A and B are shown apart, each in its own frame.
Chain A
Amino acid sequence: GAVVSQHPSRVICKSGTSVKIECRSLDFQATTMFWYRQFPKQSLMLMATSNEGSKATYEQGVEKDKFLINHASLTLSTLTVTSAHPEDSSFYICSAQSPGTRQETQYFGPGTRLLVL
């Protein structure tokens, strides 16, 4: 299947700093990628849809000025958590769908575990 990578796999930062997370589609081009967040022992919740060359669309309750998304190329989307606080500590996962496939399977990155102290 298609491969999606994320970097870093885990990050620890101080409260008030910004953290950038990269999501890459390694063997296909993705005009759209999705960012999800998963708190401990909970399910995945969609945060935003990242669109190549245009603004991201955010789910209700997700602050677009706090979670900056940039989809500058067909293989890379970045999520920047600005002025991170302890409540932003979570597992962030991106996904993409390989285009041109008969099945509309979405592939997920390995996730980034963020801990804000």
Chain B
Amino acid sequence: GIQVEQSPPDLILQEGANSTLRCNFSDSVNNLQWFHQNPWGQLINLFYIPSGTKQNGRLSATTVATERYSLLYISSSQTTDSGVYFCAVALYSGNTPLVFGKGTRLSVIA
């Protein structure tokens, strides 16, 4: 099956710093989503981005589908950004389950 690798596995940032999280995947995908899992376990949708670039406030994401990677940028990080960031992909379009990477655990310290 498709492999999803995220890096780095852990990241500690000073509040206000910027960061880039990476997601590599082993096959062409029709769906790619970035999630933030908060301390209570809720998965929060950040981006649906199988290709291209999107921005939402301090967050932005870029997926280069031909090279099979996606990047999530966090600018001016805040302590509330702490948590685990997951990249998840699906090979096919339609109602298909997602395959998750192992996540990047981000800690933002004041």
Given known contacts A104-B93, A104-B94, A113 and B33 CB-to-CB distance under 8 angstroms:
no
Given known contacts A31-B95, A104-B48, A43 and B33 CB-to-CB distance under 8 angstroms:
no
| A105 pairs with B100, CB closer than 8 A | no
Across the interface, B33 reaches (CB within 8 A) one of A34, A93, A106, A110, namely: A106
**B57 interfacial contact with A, CB 8 Å:** no
**A91 interfacial contact with B, CB 8 Å:** yes
When distances are taken between beta carbons in the complex, the residues of chain B under 8 Å from A110 are 40-42
Near A by CB (< 8 A), chain B positions 39-54 give: 40-43, 45, 48
Q: Could you say which interface size class chain B belongs to?
A: 20 to 34
- Report the separation of the CA atoms of residues A34 and B88 in the bound assembly, to the nearest whole angstrom: 14
Query: Closest Cβ of chain A: how far from B57's Cβ, in Å?
Result: 16
Fill in one digit per residue for A17-29: 1 if any B CB lies within 8 Å of its CB, else 0: 0000000000000
| B102 pairs with A105, CB closer than 8 A | no
What are 5 sample pairs from A and B whose C-beta atoms fall under 8 A apart? A38-B41, A43-B102, A91-B41, A104-B93, A111-B43
Closest 4 CB pairs of A and B: A108-B43, A32-B95, A111-B41, A105-B48
* Partner-A contacts on B (CB < 8 A): 30-31, 33, 35, 40-43, 45, 48, 86, 88, 90, 93-95, 97-103
* Partner-B contacts on A (CB < 8 A): 1, 31-32, 34, 38, 42-46, 49, 91, 93, 95, 97, 99, 103-108, 110-111, 113
